[in-house]
Structure 1
Amino acid sequence: MKTAICYYSRHHGNTRKVLEAMAGEGDIDLIDVTTRQVVRLEAYDCIGFASGIYGFEFHKGVVSFARQYLPEGKPVFFVYTYGGARGNGAKTMEALAREKGCLVLGEFSCKGYDTFGPFKLVGGLSKGHPDAQDLEDARRFYRDLVKRFSGGAQA
């Protein structure tokens, strides 16, 4: 299954670490939404969107990228990391996908080291994350997603 994962990952690179673990499990192209490249997502079987949680939501750059480039009817999934609270997780992204008639295959989330704002004063939250178990869970999530998708989850 040829997969694109469109992502934003800064600060400690938590989300990128998770995506690199997933990328070892299949034919995955990682697309940084900040690079302003020409993107043709129609060529992919499945599309993922990934971000840390910023202000309780996916990064606005990922949401904007999805609005512009997500083709109608493509199967999608979501990946996110968070320091203390998941916030709304992928709710905004799920709504956007449904507006475009996309089948939502699932979501993966895990803690990520967070030193934003006041958390820096206390040495950060979720130190050491994503850890080895988080990365193995991410790999398993993608392997299971491929099995479900190949086994008839396709709309």
Structure 2
Amino acid sequence: MKVAIAYYSRHHGNTKKLLDAIKEMGNVKLIDVVECNKEDLSEYEIVGFASGIYFGKFSEKVMEFARNNLPEKKKVFLINTYGIKVSNYTKDMEKVIEKKGCKLLGTYGCRGFDTFGPLKLIGGIAKGHPNENDIKGVIEFFRRIIEK
């Protein structure tokens, strides 16, 4: 099964750590949306989008990539990392997916080391995340996605 995952992972590379763990599980192409803004996703059976959470939502670069490149009627999943869980961080991405008539297979989110803004003054939060349990969680999540 061919899977593509478009992602944005900067600052501490939290999201990329999760993607590196699942990349080993099959035919997975990782697409860094900073380096690539156009990609033909029609040949992939499942498309994932992954991002750290910035100002309460997915990176704008990932959302723009999805708006411009996601074909209609695809199976889609979402992965995100966040410092503190306070709301539904995926709602804007879900709107993009819905507008394309795609089916959302699931969402995985976990904590990630965060030193944004004032958090830098206190040394950040969620140090050590994603940890081993977070990585096991994303591997199990991805296994369920590709078995659906």
Report the TM-score when normalising by structure 1. Answer: 0.92
Supply the RMSD in Å over aligned alpha carbons.
Answer: 1.0
User: In structure 2, what is the equivalent of residue 74 of structure 1?
Assistant: 74
User: In structure 1, what is the equivalent of residue 39 of structure 2?
Assistant: 39
Deviates more, 1:29-38 or 1:3-12: 29-38
Q: How many residues are paired up?
A: 148
Q: Give a deviation string over 1:1-42, Cα, whole Å, max 9, x none.
A: 110000000000000000111111121100000113541100
**How far did residue 85 of structure 1 move?**
2.4
Q: Which runs of at least 4 in structure 1 moved beyond 3 Å after TM superposition?
A: none
How does 1:71-150 map onto structure 2 within 5 Å? 71-148=71-148
Q: Work out whether residues 38 and 65 of structure 2, in 8 Å CA contact, stay in contact via their aligned partners in 1.
A: no
- Residue identity in the other structure for 1:133: N
The CA distance in 2 between the partners of 1:66 and 1:141, in whole Å, is: 21
Q: Work out whether residues 83 and 112 of structure 2, in 8 Å CA contact, stay in contact via their aligned partners in 1.
A: yes
Counterpart of 2:42 in 1: which secondary structure? Answer: helix
The structure with the greater share of residues assigned to helix is 1
**How far did residue 86 of structure 1 move?**
4.9
Counterpart of 1:73 in 2: which secondary structure? Answer: coil
- Structure 2's unaligned 5+ residue stretches are none
Report the TM-score when normalising by structure 2. Answer: 0.96
Q: % of aligned pairs identical?
A: 48
- Residue identity in the other structure for 2:129: H
- Structure 1's unaligned 5+ residue stretches are 149-155
- Residue identity in the other structure for 2:84: G
User: In structure 1, what is the equivalent of residue 22 of structure 2?
Assistant: 22
Q: Work out whether residues 57 and 87 of structure 1, in 8 Å CA contact, stay in contact via their aligned partners in 2.
A: no
The CA distance in 2 between the partners of 1:87 and 1:9, in whole Å, is: 20
The CA distance in 2 between the partners of 1:51 and 1:129, in whole Å, is: 15
Counterpart of 2:80 in 1: which secondary structure? Answer: strand
